Amino acid sequence: MAMTKEKLKRNPKTMRNIGILSMELERMLSSDYGYCSDTILDYSTGVPRAQGITGFDCGRYQLKQDRLQRLMEESNEVKDWIESITDDTIRHVFYQKHIEGKSWKKIAKVIGMSGKEDYVRLHIHDDYLRKCGMK
């Protein structure tokens, strides 16, 4: 699948969601959070009796696992695309913005262009997106 500006833009949030889902899955396995209870009618004696049942919620676990897998695939696609950028400065700008989620001001400072965050955004980041046909 081709890289899009939207994927790049949402990747910092995607990475936060990966962390959250990973913690939820771990909590489901290591605590009572993954268990649910329900009531059924038990007819084993011929007369319906309410019985409580408790068990691990495999359906909810699998939904979270599937979502985590999709998010990880998308995030890895973004990382791979950024790693394929041959220019070190451009790659570093994209990494800091779309992987680490840093502000343009912080990125400009890191690459030695303090006070020139507009230049970094417009002439390094956005020009590269235009070159790739994404702007």
Tell me the Cα Rg of the chain: 23
Cα(29)–Cα(63) distance, integer angstroms: 14
Give the lowest-confidence range in 2-6, 53-57, 91-95, 108-112: 53-57
User: pLDDT for 81-115, tens place per residue?
Assistant: 999 999 999 999 999 999 999 999 999 999 999 88
- Is-above-0.85 flag for pTM? no
- The yes-or-no verdict on residue 1 having pLDDT over 70 is no
Query: Which helix or strand (DSSP H or E) is residue 128 part of?
Result: helix 127-131
